[in-house]
């Protein structure tokens, strides 16, 4: 798809503050200034130290939650940890289960089945509590909208602690404690993933008990996986937790994580946030999408490499099926969307779609078309929807507004950028009409359409391995801290050829200034039709891992006919 090239939106642009006290290349220093990092904020960004992590005492509800958990441990009560079936919920469940078990707690865990039970608390949760004779029920990555089921648990004399990071409903659960950073407003911990919230609660428990925190620290490798996979902004507290977790993964990963990495052909000693996002996270998610999330928890709990290898067979098979299904559905949907006349919001529904993978397809539609996208799987007259959005369009709030006015959904939950819901099939047309009406407004036009965000321009001396080493200070990359995409104007194609499977990739050499640089454009073979003169390039600077000689290459994100810069 042809994308509109535009400067990446920035929180603030203060060039005067890019005084570069850290001896970074000027292009990198300017990039960070554009992203709002200068002064003390820049120091903390470049040095994501655990000493800068928010104090757990600042998080609303956490003191009361930790005290209740401590009481439960000291009185040998039965604790049930209830998680969600995505990678964030899987890691959060594992974190709390392993952490409490190490403290001697009587603890078990439960994750509902996506297809039999649905999202969040439900009848199966109640039955699991009865079977385990639960005294204390702790939710992770879910529960903030489950006021009714919390009341049921209370009637059974089971205390509940909610730990979540999703948007609350109209009524907060009447739990012993509710820990959800969203309720605290704009704070450094406001965007913690479910795994991050769970770890902070556990940190409070350890400190109240005066327990050794070495094992707690090791659990940060799970926090890193959950945080990156849940696509929350990797800034402030999230940046600190993921940075520390990556160090632990590289040093001594748990057996289950090592098995994940090996199965995905990822070098665990050099693992990055990108590896987690593209290779490890999807494999954990596949269990909840295709099979049962408990299989992923068992893998993460594996005590040896041999045990992990056996469990990994199940996880990998789920992933294989997931990939086959989502690609088939995507191919079908793209044909349907291409027939639409410039959609401003995509709403697709069908009875033949596997509801475990429609969220993946919705994300790909957003990337391809640049508009909010909703996929709905219809089963027995009920629609199970997964919504994804573009920056600046809070899809959860929009859906919540529709629900408040029309009451057409049976349930709704999620984040500003993603939401899940259940809707009677007869109401899908109403939802589509309301979304089309809302997005017909001119206020959304600047945010709609497929966009390629550009971060800046490299100076000629910055096309070097030294610049890449300087960029290591910006990692980990992810949502809220994307890998920078650079612009080169007036590059001259020197040579090019089609490469790869089905000859769909483009290997090129370009003259930029006085230098000639190797580039690779994945799925960009058709762009060679532009090579009858100068072109503009949008690219990510990277090491040429194929040659392995320390030289750089340009990972192309876009090619267009050369346009002169405006004066």
CATH number of the domain where residue 366 is located = 3.10.310.30
Show the low-confidence residues of the chain (pLDDT under 50).
567
Question: Does some domain include residue 237?
Answer: no
Q: Does residue 443 share a domain with residue 462?
A: no
Residue that is last in its domain, among 149, 179, 211 = 211
CATH for 522? 2.40.50.460
Question: Does some domain include residue 429?
Answer: yes
The torsion defined by the Cα of 213, 214, 218 and 223, in degrees rounded to 10, comes to 20
The residue assigned the tokens 């090791």 is: 218
Q: Does residue 81 share a domain with residue 25?
A: no
Question: Does some domain include residue 93?
Answer: yes
How many residues are there in the chain? 567
Strand 159-163 vs strand 177-179: parallel, antiparallel, or unpaired? Answer: parallel
Q: Is the peptide bond before 418 cis (omega within 30 degrees of 0)?
A: no
Question: Does some domain include residue 313?
Answer: no
Q: Does residue 527 share a domain with residue 419?
A: no
Strand 4-7 vs strand 78-82: parallel, antiparallel, or unpaired? Answer: unpaired
Q: Does residue 423 share a domain with residue 373?
A: yes
Q: Does residue 442 share a domain with residue 474?
A: no
- Domain encompassing residue 42: 4-47+452-561
Q: Does residue 62 share a domain with residue 182?
A: yes
Q: Does residue 70 share a domain with residue 25?
A: no
How confident is the model at residue 538, as a pLDDT? 97
CATH for 157? 3.90.1640.30
Strands lying side by side in the sheet with 78-82: 106-110, 78-82, 136-140, 159-163, 177-179
Q: Measured between alpha carbons, how far is 423 from 435 in angstroms, rounded to an integer?
A: 15
Q: Measured between alpha carbons, how far is 421 from 499 in angstroms, rounded to an integer?
A: 43
Q: Does residue 196 share a domain with residue 89?
A: yes
pLDDT digits (tens, 9 = 90+) for 161-211: 999 999 998 899 999 999 999 999 999 999 999 999 999 999 999 999 999
How confident is the model at residue 567, as a pLDDT? 45
CA angle 176, 413, 60 (to 5 degrees): 35
Q: What is the pTM of this model?
A: 0.91
Residue that is last in its domain, among 192, 211, 230 = 211
Question: Does some domain include residue 415?
Answer: yes
Question: Does some domain include residue 268?
Answer: no
Residue that is last in its domain, among 211, 237, 259 = 211
DSSP H helices, 395-501, are 395-406, 428-439, 465-471
Q: Does residue 169 share a domain with residue 95?
A: yes
Question: Does some domain include residue 279?
Answer: no
The torsion defined by the Cα of 483, 484, 490 and 492, in degrees rounded to 10, comes to -30
Question: Does some domain include residue 385?
Answer: yes
Count of domains for the chain: 3
Q: Does residue 484 share a domain with residue 370?
A: no
Task: Specify whether the CB–CB gap between 257 and 280 falls below 8 A.
Answer: yes
Q: What is the 3-state secondary structure (H, E, C) of 497-536?
A: EEECHHHCEEEEEEEECCEEEEEEECCCHHHHHHCCCCEE
How confident is the model at residue 544, as a pLDDT? 83
Q: Does residue 467 share a domain with residue 430?
A: no
Q: Does residue 171 share a domain with residue 202?
A: yes
Distances (CA, A) of 565 to 47, 457, 490, 538, 562: 36, 12, 10, 14, 9
DSSP string for residues in 372-416 = -EEEEEEETTEEEEEEE--TT--HHHHHHHHHHHH---SEEEE-S
How confident is the model at residue 120, as a pLDDT? 86
């Amino acid at each position: 798809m042809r994308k509109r090239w535009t400067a990446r939106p920035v929180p603030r642009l203060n060039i005067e503050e890019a005084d570069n006290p850290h001896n970074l290349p000027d292009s990198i220093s300017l990039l960070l200034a554009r992203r709002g990092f200068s002064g003390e904020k820049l120091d903390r960004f470049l040095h994501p130290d655990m000493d800068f992590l928010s104090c757990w005492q600042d998080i609303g509800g956490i003191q009361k939650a930790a005290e209740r958990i401590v009481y439960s441990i000291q009185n040998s009560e039965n604790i049930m940890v209830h998680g969600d079936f995505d990678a964030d919920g899987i890691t959060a469940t594992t974190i709390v289960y392993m952490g409490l078990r190490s403290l001697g707690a009587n603890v078990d865990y439960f994750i509902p089945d996506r297809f039999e039970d649905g999202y969040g608390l439900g009848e199966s949760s109640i039955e699991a509590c009865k079977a385990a004779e639960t005294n204390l029920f702790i939710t992770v990555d879910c529960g903030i909208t489950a006021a009714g089921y919390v009341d049921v648990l209370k009637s059974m004399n089971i205390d509940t602690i909610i730990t979540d990071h999703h948007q609350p409903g109209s009524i907060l659960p009447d739990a012993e404690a509710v820990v959800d950073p969203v309720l605290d407003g704009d704070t450094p911990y406001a965007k913690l993933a479910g795994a991050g919230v769970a770890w902070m609660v556990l940190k409070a428990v350890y400190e109240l008990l005066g327990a050794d925190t070495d094992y707690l620290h090791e659990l940060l490798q799970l926090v890193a996986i959950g945080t990156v996979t849940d696509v929350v902004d990797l800034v402030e507290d999230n940046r600190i937790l993921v940075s520390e977790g990556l160090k632990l993964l590289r040093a001594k990963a748990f057996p289950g994580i090592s098995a994940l990495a090996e199965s995905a052909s990822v070098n665990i000693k050099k693992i990055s946030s990108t590896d987690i996002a593209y290779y490890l996270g999807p494999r954990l998610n596949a269990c909840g999408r295709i099979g049962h999330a408990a299989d992923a928890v068992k893998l993460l709990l594996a005590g040896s490499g041999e045990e992990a290898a056996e469990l990994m067979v199940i996880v990998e098979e789920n992933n294989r099926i997931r990939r086959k299904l989502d690609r088939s559905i995507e191919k079908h949907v793209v044909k349907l969307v291409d027939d639409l006349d410039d959609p401003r919001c995509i709403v697709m529904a069908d009875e033949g779609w596997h509801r475990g993978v429609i969220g993946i397809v919705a994300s790909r539609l957003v990337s391809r078309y640049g508009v909010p996208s909703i996929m709905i799987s219809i089963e027995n007259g009920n629609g199970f929807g997964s919504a994804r959005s573009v920056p600046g369009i809070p899809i959860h709030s929009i859906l919540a507004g529709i629900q408040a006015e029309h009451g057409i959904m049976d349930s709704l939950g999620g984040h500003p950028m993603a939401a899940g819901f259940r809707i009677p099939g007869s109401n899908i047309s109403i939802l589509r009409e309301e979304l089309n009406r809302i997005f017909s407004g001119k206020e959304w036009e600047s945010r709609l359409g497929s966009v390629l965000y550009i971060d800046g321009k490299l100076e000629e001396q910055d096309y070097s391995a030294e610049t890449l080493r300087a960029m290591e200070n910006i990692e980990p990359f992810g949502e809220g801290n994307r890998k920078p995409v650079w612009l080169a104007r007036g590059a001259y194609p020197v040579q090019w050829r089609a490469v790869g499977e089905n000859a769909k990739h483009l290997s090129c050499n370009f003259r930029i200034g006085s230098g000639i640089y190797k580039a690779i454009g994945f799925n960009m073979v058709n762009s060679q039709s532009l090579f009858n003169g100068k072109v503009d390039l949008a690219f990510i600077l990277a090491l040429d891992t194929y040659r392995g000689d320390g030289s750089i290459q340009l990972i192309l994100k876009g090619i267009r006919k050369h346009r002169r810069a405006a004066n």
